[in-house]
Amino acid sequence: MKDAASLASPAAYADAVATAVQAAAAYYADGTTPLGDDEYDALVRAIESYEAVHPDQVLPDSPTGKVAGGAAGGDVPHSVPMLSLENVFSAEELESWAAGLERRLGRPVDGWCVEPKLDGLAVAARYRSGRLQQLITRGDGLAGEDISHAANAVLGLPQQLAEPLDVELRGEVLLTQDQFDRANEVRTAHGATPFANPRNGAAGTLRAKDRPYRIELTFFAYGAVGLDDLAHTALLERLAELGANTAATTAAHPQHCATVEKAQQRVDEIAALRAALPFGIDGVVIKADSAADQQQAGSGSRAPRWAIARKLPAQYKVTRLLDVEWNVGRTGIIAPRAVLEPVLIDGVTVTYATLHNPADITRRGLLIGDQVFVYRAGDVIPRVEAPLVDQRTGDEKPIAFPDACPRCGDAIDASEQRWRCVRGRSCQAVASIRYAASRDQLDIEGLGGTRAVQLVDADLVADVADLFTLTREQLLGLDRMGETSTDNLLGAIEVARNAPLHRVFCALGVRGTGRTMSRRIAAHFGSMAAIRAADADTLADVDGIGAEKAKVIVAELADLAPVLDKLIALNVGTAVAEPAAAGQDADGAASPLAGEAVVVTGSMTGLLAALSRNEMNELIERAGGKASSAVSKRTTLLVAGDKAGSKRIKAEDLGVRILSPEDFADLVASYLV
């Protein structure tokens, strides 16, 4: 791909134009372009820079100044041109654009509307007397394709408006993440290849006819022809009144901002929400809100002069799949990991990505050497979505699946989607011991990776229970274990023997549980013996488990039965702790967090500064609440420290009560011991 610095000749410019045209054609057809958004944007900017210096050399096919890069079209004329948006890529460029618009108007803009730039397919929906008559793609802005056959599968696009109007709604059709996942399940069940990404899926679904299956999509309205003289925020409210879905129903809802500084602040807020949104966005749109401002500014041949898209770094990139590694986890799960040609995604260089399980590899039809879409959102682990089949050269090779455990060489249990070594935890005894001894579990100081390897290699320890049988003589027999370090380690192990039940249970690494669920299980059953005897029905009664997860946990407990029996015999985690009555502490007083679903975000200060996030969760549950990591409609309280970010924004949107760390510490003061 060419960048601005490399377009030093007419030949380089022509090559860049050809590349951009090819990429745009693929993108607007079905989303299978070999270029990511960042690469395409950089290429077009390089072409624009070259053309600015060499206006006499502009090629007719150049994508500059054209809707959809000149790649799309159709045979249904639009009543009013359906334009694209110009882009800016920084706060400075946004400020410069806004200043230019105000110079054009000769006065300040009467406020801005800031809304998410949805990553889907732009459409126009024509209504006559309030009934949907035709659905059309944007195409080249002057004419588009008739996709009315797909309208019944588009949620949020009403067949009948709330009023009998003649109007044309304009908006974006996309696949939410849930719809995308479901679509790929349906497609693979019918022998079709999975969609590479949600945009690819939306484009392909809207154009497909006579499929033997149905894929649902979602419509978000953002404009209309026939509802003139309304400010943009008022127009969005009017569209919602008519029954159309808008982004007002989301955490990234459109917002009126009085100044460009406030608009930039809202841009940052929406960008921070990006990873948590249930659909993809590739930027934020800033529009002059006033209808008078819009009319005076007017439009060019490609884009309105009163609106701009502030592009965000791409979350999808294309790179090459170099290899697949097979790693064995502490419970014996054999997990494939993609080794990638390094690629920069959202400011992070990605070299590895998850492939979930062998069935996922087969379902996606991946080959070594494939060009693949890689997705990363915020802190989410990067994942490989799908190969670009039309980019294959013939040199690609099948992925080799292991026929024996890559760690120990024993057999593989492939009866479930997630393969597992038949030796289970014993295959990864070192990893299991390190996990059990870590700070958030038993917190055994002095038992790090090197010491765990020594203990396992010397056949002194095969599981966590064996730690509590170690003797002074055994430890002194190990290399680099003197009397002081031996006594210190034995002292730490003795402290761990009396650790709370939930920490001992969590140290076992039971699939289907974690730190929060371990606390709930321990509180529900009260003793290790009671947990050992639990069946699926009694486990299902624990809040947050349910019938399906209970089956997994019961199977795990059966597998761990010898370890549990040893722990009970060794008096580790056996103290019986009678749970307090619901909503009460151990003394019968009302718990300060009874009935509260609490999320903690940001950096804690004051009395809470010394607590780890796990210790914060323990504090919440001791005080009668339920700790969670994500803000949702069930959340009732957010503890927001410094740099709270997107979770605070979402909590504010949902009307969740928000406390500072200091106020929260006062609320649970009696539990801060």
What is the architecture, at CATH level 2, of domain 424-497? Orthogonal Bundle (1.10)
Strand partners, 420: 333, 413
Pairing of strands 637-640, 597-601: parallel
Is residue 24 left, alpha or beta, with left meaning phi > 0 and alpha meaning psi from -120 to 50?
Answer: alpha
Longest dimension (CA), the chain: 90
Q: Domain extents for the chain?
A: 4-64, 76-311, 316-401, 424-497, 501-569, 597-671
CATH code of domain 501-569: 1.10.150.20
- Burial zone of 144 (CB within 10 Å; 0-12 exposed, 13-18 middle, 19+ buried): buried
Q: What is the pLDDT of residue 578?
A: 47
Nearest to 233 by CA among 277, 272, 266, 279: 266
- Cβ atoms < 10 Å from Cβ of 656: 22
Nearest to 285 by CA among 310, 313, 268, 260: 310
Can you tell me the distance from the alpha carbon of 208 to that of 164, in angstroms, rounded to the nearest whole number?
Answer: 30
Show which residues are catalytic.
117
Is residue 395 left, alpha or beta, with left meaning phi > 0 and alpha meaning psi from -120 to 50?
Answer: alpha
Nearest to 94 by CA among 245, 330, 283: 283
Strand partners, 283: 117, 311
Helices (H), 221-313: 232-241, 260-273, 291-297
Can you tell me the distance from the alpha carbon of 605 to that of 425, in angstroms, rounded to the nearest whole number?
Answer: 39
What is the architecture, at CATH level 2, of domain 597-671? 3-Layer(aba) Sandwich (3.40)
Q: What is the pLDDT of residue 73?
A: 58
Q: Using the 8-state DSSP alphabet, how is residue 34 labeled?
A: S
Asked, colleague to colleague, whether 4-64 and 76-311 share their fold, the answer is: no
Q: Which residue has the tokens 């610095």?
A: 5
Nearest to 127 by CA among 53, 248, 227: 227
Classified by CATH at the fold level, domain 316-401 comes out as OB fold (Dihydrolipoamide Acetyltransferase, E2P) (2.40.50)
Say if residues 175 and 201 touch (Cβ distance below 8 Å). Answer: yes
Can you tell me the distance from the alpha carbon of 372 to that of 24, in angstroms, rounded to the nearest whole number?
Answer: 18
| Terminal alpha carbon distance of the chain | 60
Tokens of 595: 């009935």
Range 76-311 classified under CATH 3.30.470.30: yes
Q: What is the pLDDT of residue 28?
A: 59
What CA–CA distances, in Å, run from 293 to 204, 290, 353, 640, 651? Answer: 37, 5, 47, 39, 34
Q: What is the pLDDT of residue 3?
A: 46
| 10-residue averages of pLDDT along the chain (673 residues) | 60 83 67 64 82 84 67 78 91 94 95 95 95 93 91 95 96 94 88 80 86 93 93 96 94 94 94 87 95 94 93 85 89 90 82 89 91 77 84 93 86 89 78 84 86 86 90 88 90 89 88 82 88 90 84 87 91 61 51 88 88 83 82 90 83 90 90 73
Q: What is the pLDDT of residue 225?
A: 95
Pairing of strands 626-628, 597-601: parallel
Say if residues 82 and 138 touch (Cβ distance below 8 Å). Answer: yes
Structure pTM? 0.59
Q: Which residue has the tokens 């624990």?
A: 542
Q: What is the pLDDT of residue 170?
A: 96
Say if residues 175 and 217 touch (Cβ distance below 8 Å). Answer: yes
Q: What is the pLDDT of residue 580?
A: 44
Tokens of 567: 């722990």
Pairing of strands 383-387, 371-375: antiparallel
CATH code of domain 4-64: 1.10.287
Q: What is the pLDDT of residue 579?
A: 45
Can you tell me the distance from the alpha carbon of 15 to that of 7, in angstroms, rounded to the nearest whole number?
Answer: 9
- Burial zone of 610 (CB within 10 Å; 0-12 exposed, 13-18 middle, 19+ buried): exposed
Tokens of 107: 């006065």
Helices (H), 417-500: 429-437, 449-457, 472-476, 483-497
What CA–CA distances, in Å, run from 218 to 157, 180, 207, 271, 650? Answer: 8, 11, 15, 21, 21
Could you give the 3-state DSSP secondary structure of residue 229? coil
Q: Using the 8-state DSSP alphabet, how is residue 148 labeled?
A: G
> CA Rg, the chain, in Å?
29
Can you tell me the distance from the alpha carbon of 341 to that of 343, in angstroms, rounded to the nearest whole number?
Answer: 6
